[in-house]
Amino acid sequence: MILRVFIHGDGPEMREAKDIVERLKETSDIEAEILDAEDREGKEVAEVYDIYTTPSFLLTTDEGVILNSWIGRLPAEFELKAAASV
């Protein structure tokens, strides 16, 4: 499973999204990546998943199939951990 987090800019919600990812990396086995929707790679991945609002969190299989999503909002850490443990 991979947690893909899409951010844009450096506002408070974007910083909190980054903090959530860092805490999850420290306290769980969730593989996570932060993708900046402003740079080329992040924009390409965002287009594949039709992500146009940030912050957005996608929990996917290793093959890229979406298992759960939080579009345009910050999920609680317990929500992410619960979704990843299924």
Q: Consecutive 10-residue runs of the chain (86 residues): their mean pLDDT?
A: 93 94 88 94 95 95 94 93 82
CB-CB contact of 36 with 53 (8 Å): no
Q: What is the pLDDT of residue 55?
A: 96
Which residues are within 8 A (CB) of 55 and not within 5 positions of it... i.e. 6 or more apart? 5, 6, 7, 13, 14, 16, 17, 72, 73, 74
Q: Which domains does the chain have, with CATH numbers?
A: 2-84 (3.40.30.10)
CA distance 78 to 35: 22
